[in-house]
Structure 1
Amino acid sequence: MTQRIFDTHLHIIDPAHPLVENNGFMPGPFTVDDYQRRIDGLGIKGGAVVSGSFQAFDQGYLIDALKALRPNYVGVTQVPEDTSDTRILELHEAGVRAVRFNVARGGSANLDDIDRLARRVHDLAGWHAEVYIDARTIDESLSRRIAALPEASIDHLGMHEDGLSNLLRLVEQGVKVKATGFGRVELDPAATVRAIDATDPTALMVGTDLPSTRALRPFRDEDLALIVDALPADRVADVFWNNAASFYLGA
């Protein structure tokens, strides 16, 4: 593609660093070199390396990946609720810009911990919160909790068509959404991205979800083309770069 892309959701799986089995799953390697080979020619000029459940609280792989990928790449990490301010600032210096809460795969944090940690890292380092959740499970109480966070995003279009109304209610209140993981969602991606973009033109961001661990199918280049075709031509630059650059890079 000629359009510049910010890849808001990629995983680096470096066998030189610890991995933790999650629900019986252990991923194969997907290194920085593997990622760069896979995206060659796609127009990706920056992105967010996201910690998966199989990486638990390890930061070594993320710091190494960001050193290799920079510039315009940032980290989205998982940290225990009792992580010190000093450690958070060290991670910020290394390029981390968000904390992730993996609700869909049974993360360890409860809602009070999520709220407390999300506010603390935002106040301390300006990080936002990223939530991996099936939008069908977002009831009124949880919706209020997510919307009240200082800044937040939802992974993979909220996962399911039956959760779209819940997702759009969050978008109306400033929550961002990643159009990622088309091989793991149960919805019409084209209709969903149109609905999100129509609700808030600053909300929608794209990503590859590489290497698509546990998805029914991996990322395909055609996933990006689908988003282009679903949107008016004058919306593509915002969705593919500008919205994410503002959210992750402050640009």
Structure 2
Amino acid sequence: LRDHLGVSRNVIVQATCHGADNSAMVDAVQASGGRARGVATVRPDVTDAELRRLDEAGVRGVRFNFLKRLVSAAPQDDLAAIAKKIAPLGWHVVIYFEGAD
């Protein structure tokens, strides 16, 4: 698709339905030959070793869902804890929310 559209690089964002199992997203990033980066979903108890593994695989951000139809509770507390963990890696945060919010 990337080649068909004439795009040289892209970002692959972890699908909500996979939760914190980032394996499919990581596989896709690694199959890109360095032309894609990933955005993961992680839990607050994610280890530094797992974050380093994701970073080495090409992940450069974390996604948070604030959509009531997708999550049972808004992850404000998780966001702060995870943001602190990913800061040394220089990753960004993606916040997914409804326009009305």
Q: TM-score normalized by structure 2? A: 0.86
Q: CA deviation at 1:60?
A: 1.6
Q: CA deviation at 1:118?
A: 1.5
Task: Say which structure is richer in strand.
Answer: 2
Contact in 1 for aligned 2:62/2:92 (Cα 8 Å): yes
Structure 1 Cα separation of the partners of residues 64 and 22 of structure 2: 15
Letter in 2 for 1:91: L
Structure 2 Cα separation of the partners of residues 127 and 120 of structure 1: 10
Structure 2 Cα separation of the partners of residues 92 and 108 of structure 1: 27
SS at 2:12 equivalent: strand
Rate the CA distance shift 1:107–1:126 in 2: closer, same or farther, 3 A.
farther
Match of 1:18 in 2: none
Structure 1 Cα separation of the partners of residues 80 and 59 of structure 2: 19
Give runs of ≥4 in structure 1 deviating > 3 Å.
none
Letter in 2 for 1:89: R
Name which one, 1 or 2, has greater alpha-carbon Rg: 1
Rate the CA distance shift 1:90–1:109 in 2: closer, same or farther, 3 A.
farther
Contact in 1 for aligned 2:65/2:75 (Cα 8 Å): no
What runs of 5+ residues in structure 1 fail to find an aligned partner? 1-35, 138-251
Q: TM-score normalized by structure 1? A: 0.37
Match of 1:78 in 2: 41
Contact in 2 for aligned 1:76/1:98 (Cα 8 Å): yes
Q: CA deviation at 1:109?
A: 5.7
Match of 2:77 in 1: 112
Match of 2:9 in 1: 46
Contact in 2 for aligned 1:49/1:73 (Cα 8 Å): yes
Contact in 2 for aligned 1:103/1:132 (Cα 8 Å): yes
Residues 89-128 of structure 1 aligned to structure 2 (within 5 Å): 89-104=52-67, 105-106=70-71, 110-123=75-88, 125-128=89-92
Count of aligned pairs:
99
Question: What is the RMSD computed on CA atoms of the aligned residues?
Answer: 1.7
Contact in 2 for aligned 1:101/1:107 (Cα 8 Å): no
Q: Deviations over 1:1-28 (max 9, x none)?
A: xxxxxxxxxxxxxxxxxxxxxxxxxxxx
Residues 131-142 of structure 1 aligned to structure 2 (within 5 Å): 131-137=95-101
What runs of 5+ residues in structure 2 fail to find an aligned partner? none
* Structure showing greater relative contact order (alpha-carbon pairs closer than 8 Å, 6 or more residues apart): 2
